[in-house]
Structure 1
Amino acid sequence: MFGQAGESEYTDEIVNRPDVVALRAKVNATTDTSISEASVDVRVSLKNGKEVHVFVKNAIGSLENPMRDENLEHKFASLTEPIIGKEKTRQLLSALWKLGQANDLKQIIALSTPD
């Protein structure tokens, strides 16, 4: 819906598209303090009058439902590759997985910086 494969849905071009603006105008987000911060409760009213309700007790990434390493790497890469490139992203991921053994942060800072 938002963009081509690999294209971030958070770019100005996507966020300001007329169809995305129209969809956003139909959404009413509220906070429900009676449920956990790791939960989500979504209700959608369709044009045909049908209501769809989804409740997720523990969202992906919560303490109770941690994100798997490969999903975390994919998400990280999707956010960093457009900025620092595929190779630097690969190297940065490798360095970050070994962060506990690093003597300093110079390599991580260098890899985190666009050329």
Structure 2
Amino acid sequence: MAESSGSVPPASPPHPPLLSGGWYHGMSPDEVLGPGRYPLHVPGDKSVRKALLLTLGFGPAGLCYVSRSGGLICSALTMLAVIMFGFPPLLIAWPLSMVCAAIMASGMHAEYQGR
């Protein structure tokens, strides 16, 4: 067999897996592993008193103070129940949303204080 006249290409090190972050290791706990730095949204401190007042005044829509998606879902389900069964579901949904708002806000308050 005849020898080739071409040269041997230079060796290149293998690339690190993209999900491991490669050689970069985050400096802050607010970063995720990956090929770059991605800042994460840190939820702020939520007042339990304010959460209770908003849910007392606005019902399930007041949950949006603590959780937008939770408030919108709870409001939509409450409206659906009111349409189907009349106003008695409000007697359950209103206090239940107040309890949920207080629990969620106290959890966010405790997490914020722990940082």
TM-score of the pair, normalised by structure 2: 0.22
Greater gyration radius: 2
What TM-score, normalized by structure 1, do the two folds share?
0.22
Q: 1 or 2, which has the higher helix percentage?
A: 2
Higher relative contact order (CA 8 A, sep 6+): 2
